[in-house]
Amino acid sequence: MKLKFLLAFIFAVLVIASFTVRAGEVHNVGTSEEFAEAIEVLECGDTIRLTANIEHEGPVSIYNAITIDRNGYILYLSADTQGRTSTITVAYNGSIMLEGDGEFNVSNSSGTAVFSNTGIVMVNNVTSKGRDGSRGVSAMPGANVIVIGDVSGDSPIGAWGDVVVTVYGNVTVRGSWHLGVIAERGANIHITGNVYGTTSRRDFHGAVTARHEGSLITVRGNVIGFAGNGVTVHEDAHVRVYGSIGRFNTALQLRTGGSAFVEGNMYGSIMSIGDYNELEFAGELFELDSLPYVFSFTAGVRLHFNSYHIICAHSINILQTMDTTPIIADGNTLVPLRFIAYTLGAQPSWKSETREITLIQDNESLTFAIGELAYGMDMHAKIINDRTFVSLYFVEAFFSAVTRWTSNEQRIEITWE
């Protein structure tokens, strides 16, 4: 009996011991040497607590879940890796959480500053000073990178796959390479501040670029630059800009399947050079220097300008944007004729002497004067604020289109063959 009791007691002790969780150690560090020593022995759950400001040079790898207690001080990690590795690499089961006041800043003179493919990585500010696509943050599947401050680099953020990168400050794109902030293969990038493009390259692909289905970039501030493209969206990706896009040669470029929402204004042209693109645009479009307002749309493009929505069914070029929104008069919805005509592939002309309008589309033409009813009209055309308006009924009749009015959204949808 005593032997059975003793064996049961030993078994219980072994079971309890097997479920004992190691309490994380606190490593107090005040010099670069002490920091390097702590990195070598870190285990899961450990904390690095700063006791002074530290500048540490050389690549650092984190393979366990750790905490950095800034404790009111600054930890600055730097490296010159020539693109071979990163200043800090977080992989396997690694993660970095931050505690206390202070800063944890990371930079690289020639390569990537922060690389992660696992867990949560928190950092204050990230800088990459290299060229040819060197990145501030490079995030691969499994990563969740949180930058409390700013990010800068030649291509400051690159995210690929099932990852999330969140930046609470601003992002600066130096852009000696052809890409800036880029999300691919379903990655999500969220930027609370502004994105600044500082390159003068006219072939710059985009300060912000999203491609592949599920990829999303959100910018709460403005996207500001000097040349090239501001925002480029490909292949069923989506970009949302709540500020303005400005001073680029092309403010927004949509490629096949790309979609975008822009709440502010756009300065520069908008181009859609693929099929089935969608744009919701609540601001105004402004011409830059001698740049025309050029849209090159192909099949299935959806445009939302304020309360206006149109679906393009064939390849067209629009040389002028809609500079006025639809109105409701006498219970009828009226739309600006010139913009509708260009968009649906017709050529309008105006004869001021007789106040006559001629519409030519394919082999058909129609001429009518302001104030008279022409074929397909349920009410005569009106001139309001120097713009000619016609009813949706006329659009249906002349262009063989189908129109739909959604009253709660104040939205018009026009489709045609």
Fold of 332-416: Copper Amine Oxidase; Chain A, domain 1 (3.30.457)
What is the arithmetic mean of pLDDT over 116-131?
92
**Least confident segment among 59-63, 164-168, 225-229, 388-392:** 225-229
Q: Is the pLDDT of residue 98 over 80?
A: yes
Q: Is 256 helix (H, G, I), strand (E, B) or coil?
A: coil
CA pair distance 83, 330, nearest whole angstrom: 67
Query: Mean pLDDT for the chain?
Result: 81
pLDDT at 335: 83
pLDDT at 310: 38
Domain boundaries defined on the chain: 57-318, 332-416
CA pair distance 70, 30, nearest whole angstrom: 11
* AA letter at 94: G
In this predicted model, what pLDDT tens digit does every residue of 42-88 receive, in sequence order?
999 999 999 999 999 989 999 999 999 999 999 999 999 876 789 99
Rg for the chain, CA atoms, rounded: 29
In this predicted model, what pLDDT tens digit does every residue of 239-259 receive, in sequence order?
999 999 987 878 888 887 888
CA pair distance 256, 411, nearest whole angstrom: 24
Which has the higher per-residue pLDDT, 128 or 331?
128
Q: Which residue has the tokens 């601003």?
A: 170
Residue 417, both tokens: 């063959």
At residue 372 the predicted structure's pLDDT band, cuts being 50, 70 and 90, is confident
Q: Which residue has the tokens 């130096």?
A: 174
pLDDT at 19: 42
pLDDT at 395: 83
**Least confident segment among 17-21, 103-107, 311-315, 343-347:** 311-315
CA pair distance 133, 186, nearest whole angstrom: 21
At residue 111 the predicted structure's pLDDT band, cuts being 50, 70 and 90, is confident
